[in-house]
Amino acid sequence: MIDQEKVRRETMRWLVILTLYNASPVGAYEELILATVQGMFPDATALEVRRVLDYLSDRELVLLDKQPSGRWFADLTRYGTDLAEYTVECDPGIARPKKYWGG
């Protein structure tokens, strides 16, 4: 049986990494990240995105700036960029698709 919550959570993690990769080298506020995630998961919430950002920060893939105003700002670390570019292995917990193209 497929665990739909796990699939959703791990897919969101990959979407956040891709969003921040495309926002490089500037990074992005959580509102932009949420809007991007909602393109695939229309019912995604700000709390879910914050949980994903915390998880990715704990894995040292994302740098988080939790601002006094309450907004969160995120940017990829060097390792997060390498993960997005398929130059390092992806540990379990992130639904990065297998590389099927040359190289």
Rounded Cα gap, residues 18 and 14, in angstroms: 6
Instruction: Report pLDDT for 100.
Output: 81
User: 74: closest CA among 14, 8, 17?
Assistant: 17
Q: What confidence category does residue 91 fall into, taking pLDDT thresholds of 50, 70 and 90? A: very high
Answer yes or no: are the C-beta atoms of 49 and 30 closer than 8 Å.
yes
User: What mean pLDDT is predicted for residues 45-71?
Assistant: 97
The whole-angstrom separation of Cα 10 and Cα 13 is: 5
- Kindly report the number of other CB atoms within 10 A of residue 85's CB atom: 9
Asked if 4 and 86 touch (Cβ cutoff 8 Å), the reply is no
Domains of the chain in start order, with CATH, are 4-84 (1.10.10.10)
Compute the average pLDDT of residues 15-39. 97
Q: Are 75 and 53 in contact (CB under 8 A)?
A: no
Give the model's pLDDT for residue 103. Answer: 61
Average pLDDT over residues 71-95: 97
